[in-house]
Structure 1
């Protein structure tokens, strides 16, 4: 899932910038290195992240020493987009990575990777994922999108699914292949202004900036109705890594739970955003910010899997529970 920022140059800059227990024994991890007296199989872990609002808790955890308190030395690796996470996890250059659930579930269902979700990350909230049109567009409701061209950052992913759910709720079917055109988030403002597309499914901080820059209007906030409070993204590891390093993963989970809890205070998120993105503090304060769940709940994530199957993003149903590592 690729979220970024703007004000003309800021849009591009954001994308470029662009989510154990102690014991007496000293177990050996997959690399063969002893974890010393920490009780962890592996103390240094490589984490895939993105400089977007969704990963604020990860930044908070690093800043406040929450990983260090668990005996972990976290090495963040910035990804250009969520699609990078799958091959890097599979290849072992990342131990854990941030990514959107649609990508993770889709890759697992296709057999591209055997993974486990180890921490929840981000949940939609009002204005975090919106459908926008130019200010002078005749489109006034979701029903008016029938037969129109809609910009999305990636086809057959979370954005198209949210638009199609909105369309069905308004009595229209939006075709996955015919009605969407791919544009990176920083280019959507120009596409709307030029009339290249009729609408765009936009995420924060782009929604805020596109509205300010060209007066684009929101015709539908996707965080309502059937997709209200929708699980968007989390952190995953390969099943092999989890099996070989259960105490290390549990330590990561404990640190993230504490960080997600701290992120419930909007001030902590707003303060963190400018430190790892190109979004200035003045802009961060005005963004729509989603929620950061503290519990990894398979029942919640099943909503994503069920919607994916309903809208043709999964050939067969899957059980989110099978992909979740609850840990402690």
Structure 2
């Protein structure tokens, strides 16, 4: 019986070899694997924030996805999309992470017209409940959303996704957004500012939410990713029209690497393991963070929702079609 099995395996192996020899004799060759086009710019400066949202980029760096595309990514920490876009326009950054509100607002005002406008190249983050919270002091006087009337709320930059979602959700709870004061402040500074009463509340994303709750006992008074802003697209990566036109292979390579990073970020453990390295949180806090969605493709219809809300709440003065801003790479 054992011998019969050995003979069967030998015959099968001989058939495989014969088939391979037949291909060689017939002159047929397996189709060549096409290498991606060589990038025009091998080193790119990318603006980032120390927040969960950019985990896919750090995953792509760590796993060598950019390196395989012939790219070296230099990360530059920025305060927010609104602060990073001027640097993008002036050439200090090649690509930047930013919220869609800032990108769309810049395009609508024509502020980037001299550099070919703003182009959106990668989706980054989409809202889920619990990931965009307005926090207040745990032992303070603010107990309900109505208590926010007349108070000061810190947001990382003005005219961005924080302002849009705050206004939308306040209004959904019958609070006139004009009856609160929004103050620009770096997100890492908000926890301490609330504790010393420099502001009354802070609009935070992760990991700053979990840090403030764990370290200072701060409480969530409002979920800014709820009601009219439930599931709203938050942020992604943009560049200028001039950069996209001058370095198309570089942009496509960046998109391919990021698509892999976005895909890997669907695994919570992968994101959680990286947070202590780039977001400055301890591992216990990293285990507590609320995660949003990491989309793997750009969708004009989804982003148009942001432009519509912007017009509703006065952050956009006229209709804007988002579709022409997108630079798609179908070869992912």
Task: Give the structure-2-normalised TM-score.
Answer: 0.81
Shift of 1:291: 1.6
Is residue 52 from structure 1 mapped to residue 51 from structure 2 by the alignment?
A: yes
From 105, 123, 126, the equivalent of 1:123 is 126
Aligned ranges 1:307-318 → 2 under 5 Å: 307-318=309-320
Alignment check: 8 A CA contact 2:42 2:72 kept: yes
Specify the alignment match of 1:256 in structure 2: 258
Shift of 1:265: 0.2
Highest Rg: 1 or 2?
2
Specify the alignment match of 2:157 in structure 1: 154
Change (3 A) 1:189 1:39: closer
Aligned ranges 1:282-301 → 2 under 5 Å: 282-301=284-303
Specify the alignment match of 1:229 in structure 2: 231
Tell me the distance in 1 between the aligned counterparts of 2:155 and 2:76. Answer: 25
CA offset digits 1:154-185 (Å, max 9, x no partner) = 23322222111111111221118x52233332
Tell me the distance in 1 between the aligned counterparts of 2:284 and 2:145. Answer: 32
Tell me the distance in 2 between the aligned counterparts of 1:160 and 1:127. Answer: 17
Aligned ranges 1:88-107 → 2 under 5 Å: 88-107=87-106
Change (3 A) 1:195 1:92: closer
Specify the alignment match of 1:190 in structure 2: 192
Alignment check: 8 A CA contact 1:143 1:167 kept: no
- Give the aligned CA root-mean-square deviation in angstroms: 2.3
Change (3 A) 1:195 1:68: closer
Structure 2: give runs of 5+ residues left out of the alignment. Answer: 1-32
Tell me the distance in 1 between the aligned counterparts of 2:170 and 2:177. Answer: 6
CA offset digits 1:223-270 (Å, max 9, x no partner) = 221111221111111111112222221221111111100000011111
CA offset digits 1:42-62 (Å, max 9, x no partner) = 333332223321111111111
Deviates more, 1:304-313 or 1:187-196: 187-196
Deviates more, 1:299-308 or 1:81-90: 81-90
Specify the alignment match of 1:174 in structure 2: 177
Structure 1: give runs of 5+ residues left out of the alignment. Answer: 1-20, 24-36
The number of aligned residues is 294
CA offset digits 1:110-168 (Å, max 9, x no partner) = 11111100001112222211122223445443334233332223233222221111111
Specify the alignment match of 1:31 in structure 2: none
Q: Report the 3-state secondary structure (helix = DSSP H, G, I; strand = E; otherwise coil) of the residue aligned with 2:260.
A: helix
Change (3 A) 1:22 1:250: farther
